[in-house]
Amino acid sequence: MGNFANEQELIVQNNLPSRRWKTRRIRTARDKEILWLNKEYRRVECQIRDLGYEYLNPPIQRGYKRLFVLTEETKYSKCADFYQTILDKINTVWYSPHKTFKQKKRRIGKWKFRIRNEQTLQEIDSYVFDKVKNFTEEERKYFYPVEYYHYPSKLHKIKYIFIEQWRFVLQTKPHMITKVQIKDSELEQYRDELGDYLDKHKNRGRLIKLQGGNTYSWKKVINEQEDRKKYSYNSLRNAPLHQITEEYFYEEKEL
């Protein structure tokens, strides 16, 4: 077409679409394709998840699990059902391939085992205690609040701990698998192909940007801080000292 000036004249004279218009159309079509592929990936994932399960006969063992159970004294008491309902809400279950529940770790070319942290009952946050777990008034009497400092949020929070923890004891059991999820090789292959295509650097970055991610910037944070300072109400901000003293003495004379 020649140089850029002649090209612009031809576009105006013949009413042709500009180069920016073509580039924008190509970019828009590309963005729509990435969004559709992401939607298709989620649809296939849900379809695989909804295939259901099939039961194993006989069941197989996969490692061990450790959880809290009622002690023999509590199990045969009159309040066994009451404590069992509490235990179902605060119980913790750990899984391990070893019966000793030691964690395998490699150090200087050798495999060594180290003991994991002590397993305890759940210490329930105040919001979960009031809104999620649905404890009855009688069950609430068996918990006491403890205030602690939450470092990520830098706030003082309250958690509830069960009082009579001696009623429960740890027990290790074989982890038996009675059912497995139904597999579909064609759907899984299609999902993997979509995932590999979306996981490319340019596609994943563009998808995150289209969905509203990667919006953090230091410039935006600084502007928000300046706006907060600018529009925050303070009658003494940027006021000279003589004006403050005059207003103070004027209010005293009126009184």
pLDDT in tens, 39-94: 999 999 999 999 999 999 999 999 999 999 999 999 999 999 999 999 999 999 99
pTM confidence score: 0.62
pLDDT of residue 147: 92
Cα separation, 202 vs 68, whole angstroms = 48
Q: Which residue has the higher pLDDT, 17 or 252?
A: 17
Q: Strands 155-162 and 143-150: what pairing?
A: antiparallel
Helices (H) and strands (E) in the chain — how many of each? 10, 8
The DSSP 8-state label assigned to residue 228 in this structure reads H
pLDDT in tens, 202-216: 888 888 888 877 655
| C-alpha to C-alpha distances, 74 to 80, 92, 131, nearest whole angstrom | 6, 19, 28
Domain ranges of the chain: 4-52+183-210, 54-181
Whether 1 has a pLDDT exceeding 60, the answer reads: no
**DSSP calls for 53-119:** EEEEEEEEEEEEEEEEEE-HHHHTSTTHHHHHHHHHHH---EEESSTT-EEEEEETTEEEEEEPPPP
pLDDT in tens, 145-169: 999 998 888 889 999 999 999 999 9
Beta bridge partners of 106: 111
Q: What is the mean pLDDT of the chain?
A: 84
